[in-house]
Structure 1
Amino acid sequence: MITILFCLLFLRATLAFRNETVSPGQSCTCEAFLPETVFPMGELELLEKSSVQISHKLELEISKIEMFESKLTIYMEKTLNLTVLIGIMENNPDSYTELQIQEVKIQIKQIEALVVELKASIELSSTVLVSIRKEVTAMIVILTQLETTYDKNLVLLTRREYIKLQEKLEECERRHNEIFNPNIGSCNRGFISRVSKPIISHLNAHLNAGHRYGGWGKDSNPLAGSENMYWYSGSSSTLVSQVSVYADYYRLIMRQSMKTHELYTSRDWRGVGNNYIVRGNTLYYQYREPFSMGKYNMTSQTAVYRVVPSASNRFSYFYSASQNLDFAADENGLWVTYATDASNGRMSLGKIDEEAFALKEVYETNIYKPSVGNTFMVCGVLYATRSVDIKTEEIFYAYDTHTRKESYVSIPFEKFQEMYVYLDYNPIDQKLYMYNDGYYVSYHLWFHQNKNKAQLLI
């Protein structure tokens, strides 16, 4: 139908231009060239309908979480009252009859049953959130494909709706996570117990899967007024030449940066690797020349470097080259991992004095750095990962700087795609941030209740 209409319009325009007519015995032919791909409006409409359904599911889960929070408050008050009563009874045991003691025991069992029921409800809600997250992730991938294949302006409205949906899901997951991990920013907890499913946010700001080297995340010690700020740096090579900052998550996804800092202007401050973090509005990274620790202050837009005398540039991580100095931040401050020639590639961990920008303490481990996928720090504990298969990564090693003891553990988690080049923890929201084949990916963490107790395998 479109071809016939096009032919008629073309014929009419041609005849008008030539001032010619076609007699009844003559014939006319016309060639029309249509685009090979037609924008899939049906697919976009289906995504919009799905977003409405998911929004309704999230509203239901948010109302459940509000109920969980109110129940938890009530149960905590009852438990506190019972604890006080039991303390009084222990001090004056002869003042209470056997019947009164039995009544207290019944109350304890009732609260116990209520807590078990609440825990089951919360775990069921967690399963629902994981399912919703999978749906949103699949749709974000489809939207990204549409954006890169067709005119991104046609997808923009749906993209905005999905950003709102993601923000609602993030808030729901955050509140849900706080029920399990109420002490964000505190180290009054044990080792990591499990890692969530991958949370896929978006293809990078360049909308280019060729930018496979990079990193992203939040400032681990944000300046006042910058608590919602995100940063991103990405490239098609391991050269680090710029970093962009975004006011909040929405602007990160919409690719609306506040500023892009260039590390190669009047002076060459460029770095290498995918091993940087932002802390206190300052980029810590591996300086390119000379091989050293780099520190670029995004406020003053100046850089300094410090050579680590024993660090070698021969030992990188398994997934990517040039990751010789890897920076990390946790609740205890700023760290850097590296390997030395003297140790034949075994990893060293340095605690950095941020003011002096120098190592103030070094810890030696027995782990061979090139066998490691990546490392990160949580509450003074170094965690190392390795590949299990193309879909699965595993936290397999932990080194506790408080006790100077190392442990072999097994905490598997999903990678989303086979190759990733960046993994770091942020103490502000207790999340892992991963840069995976050009995509922004993050994870929630759960911890053991028993402090300083890991699940040892060997």
Structure 2
Amino acid sequence: MKSQLMPIWATAVFLTFFSESVSGKQCVCELKNVVPPFPMAQLDNIYTAASECNRSITPERMLEVDVLKLGLQRRLEQLEESVAVLEREDDGELYGAVSLRIIELELAEVLELMAKLNRTVHSHQQLSDATAAKLHRMVENMQELEDFDHMQVVKRQQENQRMRRDLDNCQHRLESTAQPPTPPPGHCPQGQLVNVTGPRTYSLTQYGTSYPYGAWGKDPKPAPGKENMYWLVALTSSNVFANYIRQYNSLSTIIVGVGPTDATISSSNPTTNTIQGPNVVMYGDALYYNCYNTPSVCRFNMTARTVTNVALPLSSGYNNKFPFGYLDATYVYTDMDFATDESGVWVIYTSPENFGNVIISEVLPGSPPVLGRTWQTSLHKRTVTNTFMVCGVLYATRFLNKETEEIFYSFDTETSNEHYGLRIHIKKMQTNIQSLNYNPQDRMLYMYSDAYILSYDAIFQ
């Protein structure tokens, strides 16, 4: 009889059996489940609560505050414009009365929007608190239900889900970031900038970690015979100044650090024509940089070894007055940032008259260089870690964490449209970015980061 009962015992893990013989001929087994029944009603309640959360927390609802903020900003701009018109043209009679009535109506709309924004924020806070409490109860209930999972099926499924999530996150960081929710402006023949991948190059310079501030890259408009050359400027004095440029014949030689050719701008550091700050660029066989101790653009001709310059507006920031930064940190002496793109050279800076917000100016090539058109933006320079230009569009980055930098802002110089909603992530290998520039020839971003040189592919739609 034992040989017949063992298979039943082996398959009934949660069952016990009792055997007895009837008339000496039959074996009767009574199987009894010692485990309480699975509480399906409790599981259904958890499923219902999760469904209610999905219905109450939608992407559209989460965007309500952003939409109201944008509307409020537009109304405030209209109100400011109406007040300015009244100040300029008030005749004290009929025109002034009409203008005051318009301002009164616009102010009422602003107050109504502010009240609606406050109600929405309060509603979202209540929803957040209620949802947090509900999620806490759901977690506790699920933990109770796991006690019924004697075969540990749920635990293994959870482990698989965690592994899948980690793999997806890793793939996301290595390959791409989500396309910006609002397509950036611009009129590039290759399309919109939608992603940055890499790094493709990641290496210390031949200086090692001695000089964390600097810049590197390729000339987008090289002189004949210099098409494959790379340049490097390391701030070798106090992380502020440099007086020479290194050039390498290829990418491999700059990575290995062999065979550089030096071009000296000045005999010592710091002195007249010394490079000040890390945000320098090479264009048309000339280096563009912030002249030492002046709010001026310097242009060093690599062939003639001569320096010419053009002054920015008198009050423009220099000598660490308006540097890039994040939180409570700044990148010293980054008052002026230079950028190259398909059209040439740009300088990005600011002044007290623009309240510390970014200003963009064209730098027209020549000896001396000349400032061209200028645009004022609403982007405060201290909230930005770096900028670069692509097809006449300024892109700005900000610090997210030690591993990620985010391209969050764009300004189109053709339309003067600004966008703050970009979410293009750059995977960092070091914490800080001292310089960042785009090369339209190979469509790559060149980064100098805590003494390391890196390059990234710019991906266009």
TM-score interval for Structure 1 and Structure 2 normalised by the shorter chain = 0.5 to 0.7
State the AA in 1 paired with 2:423.
S
State the AA in 2 paired with 1:435.
Y
Question: Which of 265, 269, 273 is matched with 1:269 structurally?
Answer: 273
Q: Aligned runs of 1:55-94 on 2, under 5 Å?
A: none
Moved over 4 A (4+): none
CA contact (8 A) 2:354 2:376 kept: no
- The 1:291–1:257 alpha-carbon spacing in structure 2 relative to 1, beyond 3 Å, is farther
Overall identity of the aligned pairs, in % = 34
Question: Which of 351, 354, 360 is matched with 1:340 structurally?
Answer: 351
Query: In the TM superposition, what is the alpha-carbon distance from 1:200 to its structure 2 partner?
Result: 3.5
- 1:316 is the counterpart of 2:328: no
Q: Aligned runs of 1:56-455 on 2, under 5 Å?
A: 187-206=188-207, 208-236=208-236, 237-265=239-267, 268-309=272-313, 310-313=315-318, 314-318=321-325, 319-355=330-366, 357-408=369-420, 409-448=422-461
Q: Secondary structure at the match of 2:423?
A: strand
**Once the two structures are superposed, what CA deviation does each residue of 1:343-397 show, in whole Å capped at 9, x if it has no partner?**
1100000011112511110011000001101000000100000011111100000
State the AA in 2 paired with 1:188.
P
State the AA in 2 paired with 1:197.
G
Q: Secondary structure at the match of 1:370?
A: helix
Query: In the TM superposition, what is the alpha-carbon distance from 1:252 to its structure 2 partner?
Result: 1.4
Query: In the TM superposition, what is the alpha-carbon distance from 1:189 to its structure 2 partner?
Result: 3.5
**Once the two structures are superposed, what CA deviation does each residue of 1:111-162 show, in whole Å capped at 9, x if it has no partner?**
xxxxxxxxxxxxxxxx9xx99xx8xxxxxxxxxxxxxxxxxxxxxxxxxxxx
CA contact (8 A) 1:200 1:439 kept: no
Which consecutive residues of structure 2, in runs of 5 or more, have no partner in the other structure?
Answer: 1-166, 176-186
Residue in 1 that maps onto 2:139: none
Q: Secondary structure at the match of 1:198?
A: strand
What TM-score do the two structures reach when normalised by structure 2? 0.55
Q: Distance in 2 between matches of 1:363 and 1:414?
A: 30
Which consecutive residues of structure 1, in runs of 5 or more, have no partner in the other structure?
Answer: 1-126, 135-172, 174-185, 449-458
CA contact (8 A) 1:328 1:425 kept: yes
Q: Secondary structure at the match of 2:458?
A: strand
Q: Secondary structure at the match of 2:382?
A: helix
State the AA in 2 paired with 1:217.
G
- The 1:386–1:261 alpha-carbon spacing in structure 2 relative to 1, beyond 3 Å, is same
CA contact (8 A) 2:203 2:453 kept: yes
**Once the two structures are superposed, what CA deviation does each residue of 1:394-435 show, in whole Å capped at 9, x if it has no partner?**
000000111111112111121111112010000110000001
State the AA in 2 paired with 1:287.
C
The structure number with the bigger radius of gyration is 2
**Once the two structures are superposed, what CA deviation does each residue of 1:240-297 show, in whole Å capped at 9, x if it has no partner?**
2211011111221232244212222297321211110011111100001333111111
Q: Distance in 2 between matches of 1:353 and 1:260?
A: 26
What TM-score do the two structures reach when normalised by structure 1? 0.56
**Once the two structures are superposed, what CA deviation does each residue of 1:191-217 show, in whole Å capped at 9, x if it has no partner?**
2111102233320121x2121011111
State the AA in 2 paired with 1:391.
E
Q: Distance in 2 between matches of 1:188 and 1:285?
A: 29
CA contact (8 A) 2:235 2:278 kept: no
Query: In the TM superposition, what is the alpha-carbon distance from 1:302 to its structure 2 partner?
Result: 0.9
CA contact (8 A) 1:244 1:257 kept: no
Q: Distance in 1 between matches of 2:384 and 2:192?
A: 19
Q: Distance in 2 between matches of 1:297 and 1:365?
A: 31
Q: Distance in 1 between matches of 2:456 and 2:386?
A: 15
